[in-house]
Structures are given as C-alpha cells and as structure tokens.
Amino acid sequence: MAVSLNSYLIVSAILFSIGVIGVLVRRNPLVIFMSIELMLNAVNLTFMAFANALGSVDGWVFVFISLTVAAAEVVVGLAIIVAIFRTRKEIDIDEMNTLKG
C-alpha cells in the first residue's frame, strides 16, 4: 500500500507552519531566514508530492527553479544581513525598525 498524497501534504503543512512560527517568534534574523527556507522547502515537497500523484514531471521543474531562486535569495539576503550587522553592530530584528543607515 502506497503512502497517500494527503500524508505528504499534511507533513508539508506542518513544516510550513513550523516555518511560520519561527518567523513570528524568533528575533535573530538568521534564524528567521532559516525559517523562510523551511517554508520554501515545505512548498517544494508539495510540488513533488503532486508531481508524483499526477504522474508528471512538471512539478520537478517548479522545484528546480525554486531551488535556483532560493539560492539567489539566500545570497542577497545574507549580504543584506551582513551589511546591517556591519553598520548597526547588533543583530536583533526588534531593533531594525528604521530604514536609516
């Protein structure tokens, strides 16, 4: 007996919610960034589960492209975090409430 599509979707929903909780609760921008990665990967799991259920590889293409976009996003996001840390000398998301340098 194979694992049903819904099992994958529920695991994916749980992982996405863990990411949501991380973004809402944590104040370290690096951990918030990791939670965003968690959410991206939960959505990727949904794509893969649907691709398998529909017998198609189109979902793979979306996962592949979202992997690429995630890599680009991480590069720019970490560069921004490092730039903020260099100018502000602090790394608490509650303190980053102004756009002034």
Partner 1 sequence: MSANILAFSAVAALAIASGIGVIAFRNAIYSALSLIVNLLSLALFYLILNGMFIAAAQVLIYAGAIMVLFLFVVTMLSSDKAELQTSDRISWQRLVGVIAGIIFAAAASFLLLVHAQIAPDAAAQGSNNLFTQISAPGSGNTEAFGMALFHGFLFPFEVTSAIIVAAILGAVVLGRRSRAKSED
Hey, which residues between 2 and 31 contact partner 1 (CB under 8 A)?
2-3, 5-11, 13-22, 24-28, 30-31
Q: Is 43 in the site for partner 1 (CB under 8 A)?
A: no
Structure tokens at 16: 């996405």
Backbone angles phi, psi at 74, to 5 degrees: -65, -40
Q: Is 36 in the site for partner 1 (CB under 8 A)?
A: no
Q: Is 83 in the site for partner 1 (CB under 8 A)?
A: yes
Q: Any long-range contacts for 32-36 (C-beta under 8 Å, 24+ apart)?
A: 32/93, 33/74, 33/77, 33/78, 33/81
Q: Is 99 in the site for partner 1 (CB under 8 A)?
A: no
x/- letters, 49..68, toward partner 1 (CB under 8 A): xxxxxxxxxx-xx-xxx-xx
Place of tokens 């592949």: 64
